[in-house]
Amino acid sequence: MKRSNNIQSLTRRTLSFSVIETLAADDSPENTFRQSSYTSVTGGGWSRGVPMLFLTDSAENRRQRESIGALIEAVGIVRPTDWILNIHVSGYFSLDLLTDALEYAGGTILCAGGDMSAELATKTLRQYRCNFLTGPVTELIKLSRHISSLPPDIRSQVRITKILYTSESLLQSQRGLLMEIFNSPLTDHVEDADTAHDGADFIYDTRAMHVEILTRSSSESNSPLNQPVAVGNSGAIVLTSLQRLRNPLVRYNSGDIGSLHLLPAKAQSQIAPERVPYLRLLRIYGRDKQFSFNWGSNYFHYDTIHKMMQTEEFGILQRQILLSWEQGVQGVESMEVCILRDSSGTKDSVLPEDELVAQVKFSFLVITNPYFRVVIVNDVNDFERSGTGRKVTRVVDRR
């Protein structure tokens, strides 16, 4: 049989939306897409669209969770003595998925869910002597800010040595807060030049997932999104699941930027030799920041805003941009920049609030525009959050 040289075209979210919507609505017995499936969803993201449904075969999904747990155990993330508090959102796959994977890895799990108050979560950490915390970044920041406000004798009883975060990329300001609040081996983490700009390293098994790093298409380049980049260089992350035989995921353009690397020597020395040949390191930098959004007559590039918001003296833990029409003023657009700051009070270099507001306005070149506002919020719940993973969407366009 002659082998075809044709390459499978990329699977994109926009096309997947329409196909999945059609399949999900077809309840005929012949439609196997809806049968014996585990369901999860992903949010509409920047487009604020309807969540997209992901269906995987139930039996395959159980095997995938077990293999994830085996990998977590193999790389030493979880030990049998670990007690883990899981503060992921209940439903939308996160709580049960991480619980199963960490149990397969050998840990003991307490499922708090996303609705447990910070007070009760802290009490649980103390009462059961939990040393491991897992949750989405926003919930971790919310809990850590509460713990930082407690008296020293109470705070000292929270002894977290491991944190596993999901759902959002971890900003350097957020990483710094977690290390500061949880006085533990977390502070022994040494960042290199490549991970110091909001990148994160992940080890994956090449037998479970095929990863491609491809050149990115942009308005300034005619190069298509299908050319592989050299090992170590960054590009668009394209994924193919080698475990999903039903409803397969083939060459899916994730929308994230990253780079591939060989497993570091230090990691190789800590992992069973028979596993090492199959493991690789994927460095993820987050969503593709080449895009921009327009407001009024100006275009704002996301990567420029991202770098500005990471200015150390700003002390910004989380931020959100809200774009809408000004209420009561026909045809006029408004922009609101919501900011959550580090309130631990330990950083003398952080700018006063009025200076921060002035700097942000200057950076957006809208010093005197009355329809541009900077709002300092007190809690992560003051942000608009997605209806699926309850993530803080960086830009919300209501126009």
106 and 38 in a single domain? The answer is no
Per-residue pLDDT at 79 exceeds 80: yes
The predicted model scores a pTM of: 0.73
Task: Kindly write down the DSSP assignment for every residue of 354-380, as one continuous string.
Answer: HHHHHHHHHHTT-TT-TTEEEEEESSG
Q: What is the Cα–Cα distance from 259 to 84, expressed in whole angstroms?
A: 30
Domain assignment of residue 66, yes or no:
no
> Which positions ≥6 away from 179 have C-beta within 8 Å?
186, 187, 189
**154-163, 210-219, 337-346: range with highest mean pLDDT:** 154-163
Backbone phi, then psi, for 382, in 5-degree steps? Answer: -80, -10
**What is the predicted pLDDT for the residue at 182?**
81
Amino acid at 296: G
Residues 86-96 have a mean pLDDT of 73
Q: Choose the final residue of a domain: 159, 188, 217.
A: 188
For the chain, the domain total comes to 3
Per-residue pLDDT at 102 exceeds 50: yes
**What is the predicted pLDDT for the residue at 1?**
40
Tokens of 388: 């699926």
Residues 369-381 have a mean pLDDT of 87
Backbone phi, then psi, for 390, in 5-degree steps? Answer: 55, 35
Q: Choose the final residue of a domain: 287, 319, 354.
A: 287
Tokens of 149: 């406000």
What range does the domain containing 38 cover?
13-60+197-287
Backbone phi, then psi, for 161, in 5-degree steps? Answer: -110, -15
Q: Which residue has the higher pLDDT, 182 or 356?
A: 356
Domain assignment of residue 7, yes or no:
no
The sign one gets for the Cα dihedral 314, 320, 326, 328 is negative
Alpha helices in the chain (DSSP H): 13-25, 58-74, 94-104, 118-127, 137-148, 152-155, 172-181, 265-270, 302-309, 353-363
**What is the predicted pLDDT for the residue at 260?**
95
Domain assignment of residue 70, yes or no:
no
107 and 138 in a single domain? The answer is yes
205 and 164 in a single domain? The answer is no
104 and 205 in a single domain? The answer is no
Amino acid at 273: P
**pLDDT tens track for 14-49:** 777 788 888 988 999 999 999 999 887 765 443 444
